[in-house]
Amino acid sequence: MKSIAPHSYYSFRDAEKEIEFHRHDMPTPWMNYLSNGTFHTMLSHAGGGVAFYKSPQIWRITRYRFFHLPMDRSGPYMYIQDADSGTYWCPTNEPAADKPETWKSAHGLGYTRFGAKRDGIAAQTLYFVGPYENSLVWKLTLSNETPVAKELNVYAYVEFGMMEFMRELQWQCYNKHQVSVQYHPSEALVYRYGVENQPKPEETPLVYFASDTPLSGYDGDREEFIGSYRSEANPAAIEEGGCRGSTLMGGDPCGALQFKVTLQPGESRTLHIFLGTARDEAEVEQALTRSREAEFVERSFQGLRSLWEGYLGAWNCRLPDPDAERMLNIWNPYQAHRNFLFSRNISFYATGTFRGVGYRDTSQDILAVVPFDPEQALGKLRLLLGQQYRDGHANHYFFPNEGWEPVTSIHSDDHLWPALAAWDLLAETGDAGFLQAEVPYYDGGQGTVYEHLKAAIDFTASKLGPNGFPLMLRSDWNDQLFRVCREGRGESIWTAMQLGWVLLRMVDLAVAAGHPEDVAKYEAMYAQQRDLVNNLGWDGRWFRRAIMDDGRFLGSDVHDEAKIWLNAQTWAVLSGMADPEKGWQAMDSVHELLDTELGIKKINPSISTFPDPADPLTNYNKGTGENGAVFCHANTWAIIAECLLGRGDLAYKYYRQLLPNVAMDKAGLWRYKAEPYVYASNLFGPESDKFGLANVSWLTGTAAWMYVAATQYILGIKPVLDGLSVNPCIPSDWEGFTVKRRFRGCEYEITVRNESRVCQGVKSITVDGQPLEGHVLPAYPGRSSVRVDVVM
Ligand code: IFM
């Protein structure tokens, strides 16, 4: 394993909200998502990536070879060739073999840029998807820094894939003869995916690839441009005199555009490339006319920047810890929004083939969008509730873009999650009206939002196991527990706790929705499950996790493996169900038995033989994935639990040790590998051979919950039904912090001073100099800002 200081690879540029990369040879591609909500591109720091329209399953535009070598191919590449010498290189660094003499790249919010230089030619490149067209815009500015004129050939290249990625793997041999790339009179290559039996053919777009600069050549046939036994590193057309003017009526499609650029000494030229989608040829024409307008690219880029400025304007904090501050002001909400958009669909780790919108995952993702954009959040909540059946259970994943049948496995937790999002929406806006809005059920009929949430509770109430806990069904939050209830009797003690938190929320939601008559039922159910949790669920030093079909406990000291499970301890506290001394003891056990210097393990010890060596509970190797890894998503709940117990020092230790750049510094960049600016789903644990290796970055519930844990529980700025609660639980050595938070139309400028150097406890609050009773700030309708001073 190489040991190299991470900072020789990257640096944060916080004022610009960027991370800059100094080297292209990272341990893995470090990705960014460029998107306007309809047209998307996942792009790496070295220019590899994939573009898709709405769905990576059925409208994938370019080809990305997941897990192949060389890694991170293909991408939207540009080549710059000196026409005299024939040498060529790429501003993205990859994939040409000749490298720029100086190079850097940077990811920003919705864009990625590259700056490179070779032989006196400087290239500044920017890629983004703007709000006004469904296209990836590439902006290339070339400058001649030499004293002589330069003749350059510039190429822009993309490899088109089959739009249906599974089709590509299964039956490309024939189907590839049903695609075409034609040269369009408006100087564009147009890719048409005309494959038989494709889903939604009437919605399948044409793809255009064009520029605002006159072309000197093009190719639509990959064999012509790349040649055989070659790759993007050494395209035949570039090495052998230029594009061949190929089109394609079946075969392996690509888009290659060639430009001749002459630069006098000191001269700069900018050209723009557009890779976009349109419904038909007339729309291609219109999109190109708009895109070629003089100010279009600048206007689009400014439009993108203002969108992010507006979105992130809802929150800004100044903290004694710059790593946390950067994460909370920039990267964490950005990542969380990408989760909200893509669920767990496509990333460097997930191929975008079968995971549509996850009911459980997206319900949680909503939590971190509510503070920024309650309207978008409500839209998603309604989308989810439309996947719920009248009996209250819900589809596990579904495919709104693809129109495919949903995955219908029934899990004990899925349908319960939306209540948390609904409560957060109510607290954020103070407006209960949405609870009365009608939403259809998946199997017909409709009900109000509140009725949907109530049906979810009724479903769980109808699916209790022999001991009275909710049946595990297919699994709960933990996907790996599908062997617990194969015979239909296994129970999830964790789901009882999840139900507990949800029931507390339902009490408020029932009142807000005008159904106080339901409250007693929710309270009774809560009390009954709480008793079970504290009795049958208690193992002596921690809470048990589940009961298997055969009645054995999972998560008990009597076994040799998987004795203790993180979620059962944290949620016992989150749900308010744990008897106080049991809650403390359980979280002490977490500290003692699960915590490591790189985060908290999900279980201990890892499993290899339990409950039966011939049929262990999980196939994951020890210390990996769902088996004894540090599962970052589950760590977030330990942070919240510690805050609820008032132990701010420990909560912050748990938070800080998983800040991605902090964990990377500790593990070493070549061990950690994934991006230092976004959370990963998990890190291999100490029982693996690669402790600290981060996996499945970007699309993980960690993003939403870390945001919630840090802002609402550590900093303690939490919307509640009657206002904005301020009740921090911070490290005792912090002097204080400040937060600007948009809430119900007003900006709250909050300064917290920790005069007594405590973890928790608000001594006084003044609003614009006037003392306030308690720690809940009311809404201030009509006010644009208020100044809040808090003393701990
Ligand atoms: O809860 C799941 C999630 O739905 C997908 N990733 C893994 C988590 C834990 O199993």
pLDDT per position as a tens digit, 25-74: 999 999 999 999 999 999 999 999 999 999 999 999 999 999 999 999 99
pLDDT category at 97 given cuts 50, 70, 90 is: very high
Tell me the percentage of the chain whose pLDDT exceeds 70.
99
pLDDT computed for residue 4 by the predictor = 57
Quote the tokens at residue 241. Answer: 């005199």
Ligand 1 centre and the CA of 344: distance in Å? 9
- Reported as a pLDDT band with limits 50, 70 and 90, residue 130 is very high
- Mean per-residue pLDDT for 302-320? 98
Q: Are 426 and 510 in contact (CB under 8 A)?
A: no
Q: What lines the ligand 1 site, CB under 6 Å?
A: 358, 360-361, 477-479, 626
What is the Cα–Cα distance from 211 to 139, expressed in whole angstroms? 10
The rounded distance, in Å, linking the Cα atoms of 409 and 153 is 55
Q: For the residues 549-575, what does the mean pLDDT come to?
A: 98
Which atom of ligand 1 is nearest to 475's Cα? 10
The span from the CA of 499 to the CA of 506, in Å, is: 10
Residue 274 has pLDDT above 90, yes or no: yes
Helices (H), 575-686: 580-593, 632-644, 648-656, 660-667, 669-672
pLDDT at 1 over 70: no
171 pLDDT higher than 80: yes
CA distance 23 to 103: 7
Quickly state the pLDDT bin for 7 (edges 50, 70, 90).
Answer: confident
DSSP 204: P
CA of 573 to the centre of ligand 1 (A): 21
- The strand order across the sheet containing 717-720 reads 717-720, 723-726, 776-777
Q: Is the pLDDT of residue 449 over 60?
A: yes
Q: pLDDT category, 501, cuts 50, 70, 90?
A: very high
Confidence band (pLDDT; 50, 70, 90) for 354? confident
Predicted pLDDT of residue 432 = 98
On whether the 22-310 domain is CATH 2.70.98.40, my answer is yes
For the chain, residues classed under CATH 2.60.420.10 are 719-791
Q: Counting atoms of ligand 1 from 1, which one is nearest the CA of 344?
A: 5
For the chain, residues classed under CATH 2.70.98.40 are 22-310
- The residue contributing the CA closest to ligand 1 atom 9 is 478
Tell me the average pLDDT across 264-287: 98
2 has pLDDT over 60: no
Q: Ligand 1: which of 347, 361, 492, 630 to mutate, judged by most atoms within 8 Å of the beta carbon? A: 361
Count of CB atoms situated within 10 Å of the CB of 457: 22
Mean pLDDT of the chain: 97
Q: Which residue is listed with tokens 């039996």?
A: 197
Full-model pTM: 0.98
Q: How far is the CA of 680 from the centre of ligand 1 (A)?
A: 12
Residue 494, sorted as left (phi over 0), alpha (psi -120 to 50) or beta, turns out to be: alpha
* Strands, E assignment, 347-445: 357-358, 397-398, 438-440
Region class of 91: left (phi > 0), else alpha (psi between -120 and 50), else beta: alpha
Chosen CATH of 719-791 out of 1.10.3720.10, 2.60.420.10, 2.40.110.10, 2.70.70.10: 2.60.420.10
For residue 767, report the distance from its CA to the centre of ligand 1, in Å: 42
Residue of 396, 478, 695 best suited for mutating to test ligand 1, as the one with most atoms within 8 Å of CB = 478
Per-residue pLDDT at 149: 98
Tell me which residues are annotated as active site: 479
Average pLDDT over residues 631-650: 98
Neighbours of 5 (CB within 10 A): 9
Q: With pLDDT > 90 as the criterion, what percentage of the chain qualifies?
A: 99
Instruction: Give the integer Cα–Cα distance in Å for 382 and 670.
Output: 42
pLDDT at 114: 98
Q: Which atom of ligand 1 is nearest to the CA of 361?
A: 4
